[in-house]
Structures are given as C-alpha cells and as structure tokens.
C-alpha cells in the first residue's frame, strides 16, 4: 500500500487500509497516523519533486491548484482524482514586510495566512482530505450516512462546507454560547445539523466519540489522522514559498494539538525526501486560560494533566483535554520544541500590533505573536532567527474580538476609535493634522 493507517505506538506495526472506518489502535487505544511508502517516494529525486510541485502551484487545473492536492502523492496517493472534494484550499500567502519586522523588532518574520481559505481557517486543509476520502468510501459502498465533529468553531465551518459541496450530511456538536457568532452561522448556513450542547468543547468531544462508534456516522475531528494529512502541507507550502528553505522557527497556536503533529509530519517528509536540508524548531503557543500543554512542558513533559479550560478570546483553542497531546509531545521532542503561553491582554495587544502592519489578526494568531515576543525576551528565539508564525484563521471571523479591543471605554494599548466630526473641510483638516502630528513615526 502506498499509504495506510498505523498506530503511533511503535510496538504495533499492523497496517490498516485508509478505506477502513477506524480511528484508534484496537489493541492499545492509541491514535493512528497515516504512513507512506517512503522508499517508493524516494525513487523520485528531490529536484523532481520541487519541479512537479512548482508546476502545479497556481495551475489552471482545479485539483492541481489546491495547495493540498497539488502535493497529492505525499497525501493520499491512491485516491482517484475524480473523488477529490476541493474548494481551492491552501496555496495561501506568506505575509512579511518591513513594517511587520519593525513593529515586532524582528528582521525575518513571516505569517502564514491559513485563514485566507474558503471557510476562513486552516481547518480547510485537513477537511478536504477527510471529506474526499469519505466521498471515495461512499462510492465504494461504505455505510456512511453522515460525518460528525465536535468543534470550537472552525472545524464545524470546514466540515459543513466541504460536506455540503460533496452532498454528504454533516452533524456538528458545539459548546453552547462559547464560539463567535460568525463561526456559529457558517454550519447553519451550510445546512448542517447543529447541536449546541450545554458543556465545553471537551464535553462535546467525549460525546462525538461515542456517537461515531456507529459505522454510519464518520468522525471528522483531528484524532482522525486523515485530517493531519491535509494540515501537514502548511509547512511544505512555507518551504516552497521560501525557495525550498525552512525558517529557523515555526510558532503555532495549540488547542486540540492535531496541528502540531501535522506540521511536524510535513517537515519530516520534506527532510527525509531531501527537498530541504535542515529542520526548524517548533514553538506551541497556548492561551493562559487553556494551557495544559504549557503546564506539562514546565515539568519537562514528565506528566500531563487535563484541566478545565477557562474563558479566553482565543475560543478555538479553549481546550483543556486535547486528544492529540501524545502526538504533539512526541513532535516537540523531535523538533527541540518549546511551549509558551499568553495572557488575554498579551494576546490582544499582539494581535493589534500585527494589525498595524496590515494584517487582520484573529485571537489565536495573537497568542502566537505574543509567544514570539516572550520567547525573544527570554533569549530562546534569537534576533537573527527566521520565524514563521502560523495564522490559523481570518480575523473577520472574530469581529467581536476586534470591536471589544477598540471600543471607546477600553483601556487597551493600541485602541483606535472613530472620530465624530461636523461635515466641514476645516474640521476634517484639523483632525488630519492632529493625526499626522501625533502618529508619524509611531507604531
């Protein structure tokens, strides 16, 4: 098999077909991962891979122009192209510039804009793979009637859109009143069955795992390693955008932690196949209100204890019992990784600072940018290190977060409110003059 499921537990080498409805190692209960026939992939030279991926980038072919399916040999090599469910995901911009570098006092700083995608978050990268595989399985006669997920918002939006496009029913379990209105409206608009449960994400996750024990309801959360296969392309894209080089550091927000192992999986493939000649370090950024991985890291990962996550503006990573924690810790150990946290004030100010460079930063990316600032202060990230921050969602999905920061009564550092004026040229000129005098040369 060119690709298959296999346990993350090294003691169990049994292989399972990707067409099988299975999420955990039946013997140990550990999560699975997708493994690839690396010997077969190595028969193609590193330069040939670079050339192929470069040719497909921005292709006129619908499948090739996807940032995921343009690299399909590294994702689901056996999936028929006609079964692919794509909405043009991936191939997102790598944002950088003099103003961003100036504001964060860091010369080589990049922000990977994963939110510039169909549903506005990086979850599209994994969902196209999962829904494509389910589409293929249904065509082959699998008894799947619907796809279900628990979500803090972005996963539900991605599942709803891709399932609707494929003509597959979807079921969404959300924590009631704990996600943004924009995130709630996305699955509603796409026709999903949306269940707002009186619990937190961890409670939703527990129920959806029980629900999907039935073979006719397929699990779409990131504990399903098909999701990881799409998400792993984010690091591959960054390498391609940097001329097949990698930065010294990746900083990525961490909630359920599937994205951490996904990032590592893509980077390892690049390195093992000789497409890049070095590996970066990885920093995971958590909100202080939902920081179980950070607490474990402070004890050198000697133990991990789930917590009850508290209120945070970074609602998508408000998770106290992450399903993919074992995978994430393994990845961090492999990549010399660190974990940092950010308070509500720190993440809000970092997001606002990024906005001053032309971004529109969601609160989770604010956590990552705040972690960058703190890791620099600690001397862990050096001034001459190149850094890529993974921006996981579009700021427009969190308009309430932005409004709260800039409202008249707020005490935030970079508050900016509209100026009410009479409709006269003199009043406008006076306001412009004050603006220029007060802000020229300031951040």
pLDDT in tens, 162-217: 999 999 999 999 999 888 888 889 999 999 999 999 999 889 999 999 999 989 99
Q: How many CB atoms lie within 10 A of CB 181?
A: 10
Helix (H) or strand (E) holding 207: helix 201-211
Instruction: Compute the mean pLDDT over every residue in the chain, rounded to the nearest whole number.
Output: 95
Q: How confident is the model at residue 443 (pLDDT cuts 50, 70, 90)?
A: very low
pLDDT in tens, 231-241: 999 999 999 99
Calculate mean pLDDT across residues 263-283: 97
User: What pLDDT was estimated at residue 107?
Assistant: 94
User: What pLDDT was estimated at residue 183?
Assistant: 84
Where b means 16+ CB within 10 Å and e means fewer, 41-62 reads beeeeeeebbeebeebbeeeee
pLDDT in tens, 302-343: 999 999 999 999 998 999 999 899 999 999 999 999 999 999
Residue 395: partners with Cβ closer than 8 Å, 6 or more residues away? 115, 351, 355, 359, 360, 361, 362, 401, 402
- Starting at the edge strand found earlier in the chain, the sheet holding 3-7 runs 15-16, 3-7, 32-36
Q: Is residue 101 predicted with pLDDT exceeding 50?
A: yes
Q: Is residue 358 predicted with pLDDT exceeding 90?
A: yes
Helix ranges (H only) for 233-381 are 233-241, 258-272, 292-297, 325-334, 344-355, 363-377
The answer to whether 318 touches 152, Cβ cutoff 8 Å, is: yes
Q: How confident is the model at residue 160 (pLDDT cuts 50, 70, 90)?
A: very high
Q: How confident is the model at residue 122 (pLDDT cuts 50, 70, 90)?
A: very high
pLDDT in tens, 5-48: 999 999 999 999 999 999 999 999 999 999 999 999 999 999 99
Q: Which of 117, 190, 112 is nearest to 397 (CA)?
A: 117
Q: Is residue 97 predicted with pLDDT exceeding 90?
A: yes
Domain-located, residue 101 = yes
Q: Is 322 left (phi over 0), alpha (psi -120 to 50) or beta?
A: beta
Domain that holds residue 248: 94-120+228-403
CA 309, CA 404: separation in Å to the nearest integer? 21
Domain-located, residue 301 = yes
User: What pLDDT was estimated at residue 428?
Assistant: 96
The answer to whether 22 touches 5, Cβ cutoff 8 Å, is: yes
Q: Is residue 440 predicted with pLDDT exceeding 70?
A: no
User: What pLDDT was estimated at residue 436?
Assistant: 94
Domain-located, residue 248 = yes
Domain-located, residue 279 = yes
User: What pLDDT was estimated at residue 34?
Assistant: 96
Domain-located, residue 16 = no
User: What pLDDT was estimated at residue 442?
Assistant: 54
Domain-located, residue 107 = yes
pLDDT in tens, 419-430: 999 999 999 999
Q: What is the CATH number of the domain that holds 362?
A: 3.40.50.1100
The number of domains in the chain is 1
User: What pLDDT was estimated at residue 438?
Assistant: 86
HSE toward the beta carbon, residue 61, CA cutoff 13 A: 11
User: What pLDDT was estimated at residue 439?
Assistant: 77
Domain-located, residue 210 = no
Q: How confident is the model at residue 222 (pLDDT cuts 50, 70, 90)?
A: confident
Domain-located, residue 33 = no
User: What pLDDT was estimated at residue 208?
Assistant: 95
């Amino acid at each position: 098999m060119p690709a298959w499921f296999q346990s993350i537990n090294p003691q169990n080498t049994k292989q399972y077909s990707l067409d099988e409805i299975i999420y955990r190692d039946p013997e140990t209960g550990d999560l699975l991962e997708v493994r690839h026939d690396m010997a077969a992939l190595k028969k193609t030279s590193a330069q040939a891979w670079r050339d192929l991926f470069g040719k497909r980038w921005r292709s006129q072919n619908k499948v090739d122009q996807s940032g995921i399916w343009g690299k399909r040999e590294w994702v689901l090599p056996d999936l028929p192209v006609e079964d692919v469910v794509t909405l043009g995901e991936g191939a997102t911009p790598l944002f950088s510039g003099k103003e961003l570098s100036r504001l964060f006092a860091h010369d080589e700083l990049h922000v990977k804009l994963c939110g510039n995608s169909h549903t506005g978050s990086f979850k599209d990268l994994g969902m196209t793979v999962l829904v494509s595989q389910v589409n293929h399985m249904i065509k082959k006669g699998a008894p799947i009637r619907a796809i279900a997920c628990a979500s803090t918002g972005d996963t539900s939006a991605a599942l709803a859109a891709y399932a609707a496009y494929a003509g597959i029913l979807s079921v969404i379990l959300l924590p009631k009143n704990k996600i943004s209105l924009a995130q709630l409206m996305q699955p509603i608009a796409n026709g999903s069955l949306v269940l707002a449960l009186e619990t937190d994400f961890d409670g939703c996750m527990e129920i959806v795992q029980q629900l999907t024990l039935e073979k006719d309801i397929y699990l779409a959360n990131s504990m399903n390693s098909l999701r990881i296969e799409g998400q792993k392309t984010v690091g591959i894209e960054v390498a391609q955008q940097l001329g097949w080089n990698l930065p010294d550091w990746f900083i990525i927000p961490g909630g359920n932690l599937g994205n951490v192992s996904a990032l590592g999986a893509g980077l390892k493939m690049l390195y093992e196949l000789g497409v890049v000649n070095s590996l970066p370090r990885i920093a995971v950024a958590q909100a202080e209100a939902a920081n179980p991985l950070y607490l474990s890291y402070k004890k050198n990962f000697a133990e991990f204890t789930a917590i009850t996550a508290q209120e945070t503006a970074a609602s998508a990573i408000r998770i106290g019992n992450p399903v993919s924690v074992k995978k994430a810790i393994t990845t961090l150990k492999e990549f010399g990784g660190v974990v940092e946290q950010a308070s509500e004030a720190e993440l809000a100010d970092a997001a606002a600072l990024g906005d001053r460079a032309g971004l529109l930063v969601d609160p989770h990316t604010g956590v990552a940018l705040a972690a960058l600032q703190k890791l620099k202060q600690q001397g862990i990230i050096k001034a001459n290190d190149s850094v890529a921050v993974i921006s996981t969602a579009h700021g427009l999905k969190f308009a309430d977060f932005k409004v709260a920061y800039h409202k008249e009564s707020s005490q935030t550092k970079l508050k900016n409110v509209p100026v009410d004026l009479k409709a006269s040229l003199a009043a406008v000129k006076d306001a412009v003059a004050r603006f220029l005098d007060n802000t020229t040369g300031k951040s």
